[in-house]
Chain A
Amino acid sequence: MNAGNSPSLPFGSDSYSTSSRDSSRCSVDECKEFIDNDHVPRAQMSQIILDYLINAGHKDAAVNFSREAAIALPVQPSSMDDRVKVLEAAHEGRIADCMKILQESSPDLLEQNMDVYLAIMKQMLLELIRERKISDALQFAQDVLAEKGAEDPALLEDFERAMALLAFDKPEDSPYGDLLELTRREEVKAQLNETLLRAHGRDTESKLATICKLLLWSQEDLKKKGLKFPKLTDIATGIISDDSSDFGSDVLM
């Protein structure tokens, strides 16, 4: 027993803990019955979905859903336009456009969030490399990134990895090819989204994401404590399984 982390049992024996756990254990059927009986109000569920759609920047879906669910949209649809444009530009790798839209719609945002600015600049370099604009990439690195590297040497390693791509004919196949994967754009997009949401006074994480994280954390915590319980193994479909088969912590989302 790890005395430092788990509470000591009053009678200190395994037999106590085993019998106790077994007797109080909830079966899958009981769990499903509990879920069936414990209805989450529809309006509350709709609010959670709408919150997710707004935070993710799905403007049209949010507008349509709010109309169908007959709930008020908590933000002006037009206020989402610029964020959607920025996210689209980031998704498509149009970083210069992304910058321009940001400068127009949220003039101080980049000045106040240097980390976002650096992420965008690094993505800019990667996009130039992806488009094989080698001289532009070199010029850009020299003019913009060198200044930032001089201000904060900790950034240099990251920039150097990106610059190393220039040494390869096929940078995608190089050891640093991961930098050119599209997931990088998604990371920048997520970072931009979070920053824009914060600047507009919204929670940076949707309620749905928070609930999912809480669920995973709780299941993981119960597992660490050695308890057996019905586990939600696929969040998307809501499949609950007995943990005797031990799916581990790999819950499908």
Chain B
Amino acid sequence: METSQAMLELKLTAGIYLKLSDPDQAKPLMQRLASHEEAVLLEAVKCLRLVMTCSRAQKTTAVQLGIPQRLISILEHHNTISSELAVQIISTLSSFLHNNPSERTIGSSLLPLLLQMLNHQPSDPALLSAISRCCRLLFLSAAYREELTKLIAAQPERLRSLLAFMSSSPDICQVVCELMAVEPDLLSLCLGKNLLLSSRLDSYDFNLPIECILDLLSFKQFEAKKGALCLVSSCVQRNELRPAFTKACLQYKELFCRNLLVLIGPEETAEIRLLALNAIVVLYRKNFPICDGAFIITKVLPFLAKLCRKDQPINIKVSAAETLAYLVDEDVFLQEIASYTDQLLVSLAAFLKTPAEDWKRMTAEERRANQMVSLTECGQELKRVAFLAFSSLASTSESVRKRVADVEGLMEQVVKCSAMQSSPLVYAALRLLHSMSRSIYQLRTIFKDHNIWETVLGALKGKHGLQVTVIASAILANVSVEFSPCHLNLIKKGLWASLGTLLVHSNDDVVLNAVWTLMNMTYMATSSVKKDVEEVLSISLVDDLLHHRSKDVVAVTVGTLRNLLHAPTSSSSGEYPATPRQPDIATRILRRLRRDVHSQSSSTETENNHRDVMESCYCQDLLLHLLTLLQSEYIDVDVLEQGLCALANVCASNKGKQLVLNNSDCLNVIKKGLSHPEVVIKNSAVFCIGNLAACRDECNGREDKHSGSSENQRKVIESNFGKELKKLSGTDDPLLFERVRTALQHLNSAM
């Protein structure tokens, strides 16, 4: 024993080479670790840590000898041991977590223990430091991060102890920041549990995290700054956190802005500069007064464009393009400027090429960190962000759209990538198609050349999740407008079957896009198309859609009914305008939803060579459902306007006139419309009366010889609309005045 002891002392003095796999050498150490004498135990733990440092083999042997369990069992009684021993044990257990991929169990036992120790509010700074370092180390592992999140979600009060130590421990501060940035739901949860609620204020008190974030921003360590910057971006992007967070930021506005702006300076690494830029961009987009528009145009935008250039490392290019996409999205002015900044389109076009050289230059660690382990993954990631950036640039401006469309090989890549397995890549490709599909010119050129309708129908098969289905259905709505040359192709390749599925989708946006597609398809549609629609849009489905929770779905459904209740045209192609009046389809569709197009699409186009639409039972059922909707007390103004326009279409047909005039509910709806405070509603109601009273076939310019026309006119006069119309003749609205005048003329001619 004495010899062993002497040898151990020698080894301990040398401090390095006690081989744990040698039982003779390990035995004295194990004996000391089993001791109940704290001084002996302390020395043994210190020795253990020395011999294990950076040695995977020693750590593996130690695990086999059951040393971690012994240390954890000592730590479980942390109230009975000295702070110094606790520090040594935690540091030694931390050592097991380093460079030891086989380790799976130590962290699981250690994590709740550390949170428990924090709950006891350790007063010794060394102990707090050891706990926080170990927490941070565990947090670096995805598995433990998930475990920590679960532990806090199960008992949100646990976060209170972490938050309490944010200001005293930079490591804890980093853990909290990174935890919140990666798992923003946790922050929401804590807000919900009032963990961040100040006792003095009625609002959420973000002061503690803000102060810590400010500290972290000025730290030298990369990880500290990164955690803080990610948290800022994350908090600002979350709707439920933003008001409280930005309110707290405003209290420290000057310091906050200065710290952020310093981080985009040349002394910082490209990665930190990008993260800071991202935070600035997010704050700017959410209207936080971080900087003015001039700063964005002269500094941020050129810098982002520069970081997208060919000579930049891949991970920098990817982040820069993503931030740039977010910055310019929805800002047409910035889109125009960005498209001319530092040859951005050329830089982004280079993203589409196989990045063989760039990929070779990345280290294995960089590849793993950026999830670009293979060249294919790397290429796909570059394409994904390029599509996102192109899509934001081309989302509004027609001129930028044309320049994006001219990028060599872009559309081929988009079509190819839309059919790939990676959902984020498919989404990005479809987002670009969605931006391009807002242009009638693009619909008639590149969409036609590349058979985009096929890509869209393929993406609607639902194998990529909701996000892709939403964007694909939005493109479908755009490619189904009347100017689009792919109507027939869509119908041939199973549009109706796809719509059948989409119309009953659980997501409101998907349903809205599907109904919108139907509305587009039924606009000035032929009888055969309307017949097909009848198959898809059963009366029960119409009923469901008219009672949908989304107001927009109801409005567009009524718009679809308006088209279905409109008399068919003699030929499908001849009715389409030769050139679009509006370059942007969204604008045009919105215009059509408003009253501008009434005169084009409604009343006056009934032709004798077509059967009256209102003769069909389907349309009569539609009218009944429409009427039920219009009689509702709480109907939305937009929906009411659309409904009255649909009713105006009904009133334009002879059978429709009879149906309306013989239904007192219908007449009451129109009467109510005349006295509605909104002028758009009055307008539509007057239009209904005008159509009811009209007895001439204005398309052919000859007298309508229909047998019931005189009877109809008599009924209109008896309905006492004249008195209401005369009241409205003093209106200031020129369109309403014109319609009132026309309606009165019709009535007077019938008297």
Interface residues in chain A, defined as those with a beta carbon under 8 Å from any beta carbon in chain B: 96, 99-100, 103, 107-108, 110-112, 114, 117, 121, 124, 136, 139-140, 143-144, 147, 151, 201-203
With A107-B133, A144-B17 already in contact, 15 other A-B pairs whose C-beta atoms are closer than 8 Å:
A99-B50, A103-B91, A107-B95, A108-B98, A111-B53, A111-B99, A117-B53, A121-B16, A140-B16, A143-B17, A144-B16, A201-B220, A201-B221, A202-B220, A203-B220
Residues from chain A with a CB closer than 8 A to the CB of B153 are: none
The answer to whether A147 and B57 touch across the interface, beta carbons within 8 angstroms, is yes
Q: How far is the CA of A124 from the CA of B50 in the complex (A)?
A: 14
Residues from chain A with a CB closer than 8 A to the CB of B640 are: none
The answer to whether B14 and A136 touch across the interface, beta carbons within 8 angstroms, is yes
Residues from chain B with a CB closer than 8 A to the CB of A108 are: 91, 94-95, 98, 133, 137
B668 in contact (CB, < 8 A): no
Main secondary structure of the interface of A (DSSP, over half): helix
Q: How far is the CA of A117 from the CA of B98 in the complex (A)?
A: 13
Q: How far is the CA of A123 from the CA of B94 in the complex (A)?
A: 26
- 4 tightest CB-CB pairs across the interface, nearest first? A201-B220, A111-B98, A107-B91, A96-B15
Asked whether A100 and B55 contact (CB < 8 A) given A107-B130, A108-B94, the answer is no
The answer to whether A140 and B17 touch across the interface, beta carbons within 8 angstroms, is yes
Residues from chain B with a CB closer than 8 A to the CB of A202 are: 220
Q: Mind listing 21 A-B residue pairs with CB under 8 Å?
A: A96-B13, A96-B14, A99-B15, A99-B50, A103-B46, A103-B49, A103-B50, A107-B49, A108-B95, A108-B98, A110-B53, A111-B94, A111-B95, A112-B98, A117-B53, A140-B16, A143-B17, A147-B55, A201-B219, A201-B220, A201-B221
B19 in contact (CB, < 8 A): yes
Q: How far is the CA of A96 from the CA of B50 in the complex (A)?
A: 10
Q: How far is the CA of A151 from the CA of B55 in the complex (A)?
A: 10
B54 in contact (CB, < 8 A): yes
Q: Name the residue in B16, B49, B220 with the highest tally of chain A Cβ atoms < 10 Å from its Cβ.
A: B16
Q: How far is the CA of A143 from the CA of B17 in the complex (A)?
A: 7
In this complex, what residue of A is CB-closest to B219? Answer: A201
In this complex, what residue of B is CB-closest to A203? Answer: B220
B56 in contact (CB, < 8 A): yes
A158 CB to closest chain B CB (Å) equals: 16
The answer to whether A96 and B220 touch across the interface, beta carbons within 8 angstroms, is no
Residues from chain B with a CB closer than 8 A to the CB of A121 are: 16
Residues from chain B with a CB closer than 8 A to the CB of A96 are: 13-16
Q: Name the residue in B54, B95, B221 with the highest tally of chain A Cβ atoms < 10 Å from its Cβ.
A: B54
Q: Name the residue in A112, A124, A144 with the highest tally of chain B Cβ atoms < 10 Å from its Cβ.
A: A144
Contact of B99 among A103, A114, A143, A147 (CB under 8 A): A114
The answer to whether A100 and B50 touch across the interface, beta carbons within 8 angstroms, is yes
The answer to whether B53 and A103 touch across the interface, beta carbons within 8 angstroms, is yes
A153 CB to closest chain B CB (Å) equals: 16
Q: Which of B85-109 contact A (CB under 8 A)?
A: 91, 94-95, 98-99
In this complex, what residue of B is CB-closest to A97? Answer: B15
In this complex, what residue of B is CB-closest to A146? Answer: B57
A148 CB to closest chain B CB (Å) equals: 8
In this complex, what residue of B is CB-closest to A199? Answer: B221
In this complex, what residue of B is CB-closest to A124? Answer: B16
Asked whether A111 and B17 contact (CB < 8 A) given A103-B46, A201-B219, the answer is no
A20 CB to closest chain B CB (Å) equals: 31
Residues from chain A with a CB closer than 8 A to the CB of B220 are: 201-203
Q: Name the residue in A99, A111, A117 with the highest tally of chain B Cβ atoms < 10 Å from its Cβ.
A: A111
Residues from chain A with a CB closer than 8 A to the CB of B94 are: 107-108, 111
In this complex, what residue of A is CB-closest to B18? Answer: A143
A140 CB to closest chain B CB (Å) equals: 5
Residues from chain A with a CB closer than 8 A to the CB of B219 are: 201
In this complex, what residue of A is CB-closest to B14? Answer: A96
A240 CB to closest chain B CB (Å) equals: 29
Q: How far is the CA of A136 from the CA of B18 in the complex (A)?
A: 12
The answer to whether B54 and A110 touch across the interface, beta carbons within 8 angstroms, is yes
Residues from chain A with a CB closer than 8 A to the CB of B49 are: 103, 107
Q: How far is the CA of A151 from the CA of B57 in the complex (A)?
A: 10
B115-138 CB mask vs A (1 if < 8 Å, else 0) is: 000000000000000100100010
Residues from chain A with a CB closer than 8 A to the CB of B130 are: 107
Residues from chain B with a CB closer than 8 A to the CB of A147 are: 55-57
The answer to whether B54 and A100 touch across the interface, beta carbons within 8 angstroms, is no
Q: How far is the CA of A143 from the CA of B25 in the complex (A)?
A: 12
